[in-house]
Structure 1
Amino acid sequence: MNLYHSLPEEIQSLIDRHKNQSRTDFEDRIGKPGYIPNQPDVIIDVIAALAHGKNVLLKGPTGAGKTKLAETLSYLFHQPLFSVNCSVDLDAESFLGFKTLDYQEGKQVIDFVPGPLVQAMKYGHFLYIDEINMAKPETLPLINGVLDYRRTITNPLTNEVIQAKEGFNVIAAINEGYIGTTRLNEALKNRFIVFELSYIQGEQLKTLIQNTTSLNDVKQINAFVQLSADLVEAARQGKVAEEAASIRALLDACDLSSIIPPKRAILRSIIDKLEEDREKEVVRNLAETLF
């Protein structure tokens, strides 16, 4: 069933009122649907927040579908999605753009190439900031004015004051507790509405495997759904790292299992990513009981 038509009528109306119907030069940046919510109210609540101009922060373990949800929201609102992938090396240019030498009418000139933040603001599109808590704390205050009621920024590279066009919104994602991450300061966190995402399970996961992977063996699909449940429980008990329960990794294993034996697919997609031998052994034992 089409995701849009599965939403309540009042949410459909909310989307329609805020939908960017115009054709743009960034049609290739409009995301594709595919997010399946573990909690049915999550996608409705995120849509409501975006439709009211709120910034959205998606929290959850790796592979829980944060990026896929952002792409699905881009699809529903028909909004191009500009992205920033944060790291400890993130600087102002990663958000704003950079200066470069160009030639116009035979003369050398300094040109400015706009970055994802500038383009999203000027065209009124979505900005997706992935792993925002990987950025250096001194970099993020740059966007405080973008995230509050002002919706403005003074570009230090050009001195241009940029006012966000209507429709501009920020969706950020965060993985808490991972190496290299830091705590978001309260001033920044207070500029977002926070949504906690968890791994999908059961029939929803079965549907996702059937719709997005090459695996069509029903018995194996059911076994992978059970493996996922076992891995989530093992991660909850501290027996394995959260990355072992990643849905993204599980889907990779399902794709490989359409060609190679499932236990080898699990080895390549899940086990070999883990650092500790005891964690590898836990996953290996779970796979042995199911396949």
Structure 2
Amino acid sequence: MHNYQLPQEIQHLLSERIRKDDMFPELIRDGGYMPPNNELLIDAITALSMGKNILLKGPTGAGKTKFAETLSSLFQQPMFSVNCSVDLDAESLLGFKTLSYEGEKQMIEFIPGPVINAMKHGTFLYIDEINMAKPETLPLINGVLDYRRTITNPFTNEVVTAKDGFTVIAAINEGYIGTVPLNEALKNRFIVIEVPYIEGEQLKQLIQRNTKLDDEKMIDLFVKLSADLIQAVRQGKLSEDAASIRALLDACDLSVVITPKRAILRSIVDKLDEEREREFVMNLAETLF
């Protein structure tokens, strides 16, 4: 078992928080992901501490990447990253060969990619939007994700076995154009953690910590806007993009300088493709602001 060890001060704080059943402000550094409930953080830390891979599943802009970065910070472990797309290939994952020189002698050198780097250093590997990759690409790393923690590098024929501490955090947005369902063999290599939208008082704290907006009345209005957008997404009236927390934080920042309605227009509305959705969001903005 390749286990991570949390720093002792984090272990102590975590055990105290579990007993008290409250939130974890001491654990989360400035700008980190504040989970909407205890279980989300406890379960992620528990799985990683046991050497298991985790799959963060949730809507766009819910904070999955920030969650991964926060976990990396908590474990005081660097994190190599892969951003998946339909163009993802073996070189993007594992590395590539290139010409180099030793003195005047020309030679072929292998430059390791994020998977090989994370395995050899025994650190986190973050795979973002894992379901954007072509189905034939990801099986390359099946052996990396299961108990073997091993891969034969097709470019060098080297058998690479991960150092202690290596594990994988992946993120997935389901139902988006260009995504494909994860096959069961791949999904079964992960512990799945649902990452919901941050709402209510927690969203208010997030705005206060991570944006330049300090007008409490205005912050409350943005929290109400977010709640209305999330409700509309759940009712099928809007796409998930409209309720992105990342976009909402951008709107809060812009509203310090320009009017809130223009901030919402630039940060949220102009990203939407359908005129019906654009009008819906602007009507909400008109009502609140």
TM-score of the two chains, using structure 2 as the length reference: 0.91
**What is the Cα deviation at residue 6 of structure 1?**
5.5
**Aligned-partner Cα distance in 2 for 1:33–1:187:** 35
Paired residues of 2:95 and 2:113 also in contact (CA < 8 A): yes
Among 8, 23, 42, the alignment partner of 2:15 is 8
**What is the Cα deviation at residue 9 of structure 1?**
3.7
Give the equivalent residue in structure 2 for 1:115: 113
Paired residues of 2:225 and 2:285 also in contact (CA < 8 A): yes
**What is the Cα deviation at residue 39 of structure 1?**
2.3
Among 164, 167, 190, the alignment partner of 1:166 is 164
The amino acid across from 2:133 in the alignment is A
Residue 210 of structure 1 pairs with residue 208 of structure 2: yes
Among 230, 247, 250, the alignment partner of 2:248 is 250
Among 274, 277, 284, the alignment partner of 1:276 is 274
Residue 153 of structure 1 pairs with residue 131 of structure 2: no
Paired residues of 1:93 and 1:115 also in contact (CA < 8 A): yes
The amino acid across from 1:129 in the alignment is I
SS of 2:99's equivalent in the other structure is: strand
**Aligned-partner Cα distance in 2 for 1:97–1:191:** 23
The amino acid across from 2:205 in the alignment is T
**Aligned-partner Cα distance in 1 for 2:57–2:30:** 21
Percentage identity across paired residues of the two chains = 73
Distance 1:118 1:10, change over 3 A: farther
Give the ranges of 4+ consecutive aligned residues of structure 1 lying more than 3 Å apart after TM superposition.
Answer: 3-6, 9-12
**What is the Cα deviation at residue 162 of structure 1?**
0.2
Give the equivalent residue in structure 1 for 2:193: 195
Paired residues of 1:84 and 1:116 also in contact (CA < 8 A): yes
The amino acid across from 2:164 in the alignment is E
Among 131, 137, 143, the alignment partner of 1:133 is 131
Distance 1:47 1:11, change over 3 A: farther
The amino acid across from 1:270 in the alignment is I
Give the equivalent residue in structure 2 for 1:26: none
Give the equivalent residue in structure 1 for 2:62: 64
Report Cα offsets for 1:216-259 as digits up to 9, x if no partner: 11111000000000000011111111110000000000010011
Report Cα offsets for 1:249-291 as digits up to 9, x if no partner: 0000001001110000000000000011110111011111111
**Aligned-partner Cα distance in 2 for 1:6–1:231:** 35
**Aligned-partner Cα distance in 1 for 2:159–2:207:** 47
The amino acid across from 2:252 in the alignment is C
- Equivalent pairs, count: 271
Distance 1:32 1:152, change over 3 A: farther
The amino acid across from 2:48 in the alignment is L
Report Cα offsets for 1:13-46 as digits up to 9, x if no partner: xxxxxxxxxxxxxxxxxx9751011122101100
Paired residues of 2:93 and 2:115 also in contact (CA < 8 A): yes
**What is the Cα deviation at residue 105 of structure 1?**
1.9
Paired residues of 1:117 and 1:127 also in contact (CA < 8 A): yes
Paired residues of 1:98 and 1:114 also in contact (CA < 8 A): yes
Report Cα offsets for 1:167-222 as digits up to 9, x if no partner: 00100000000000000000000000000111000110000000000111111100
Report Cα offsets for 1:117-136 as digits up to 9, x if no partner: 00000010000000000000
Unaligned 5+ runs, structure 1: 13-30
**What is the Cα deviation at residue 7 of structure 1?**
2.8
**RMSD, aligned α-carbons:** 1.7
Give the equivalent residue in structure 1 for 2:26: none
**Aligned-partner Cα distance in 2 for 1:86–1:224:** 32
TM-score of the two chains, using structure 1 as the length reference: 0.90
**Aligned-partner Cα distance in 2 for 1:33–1:45:** 21
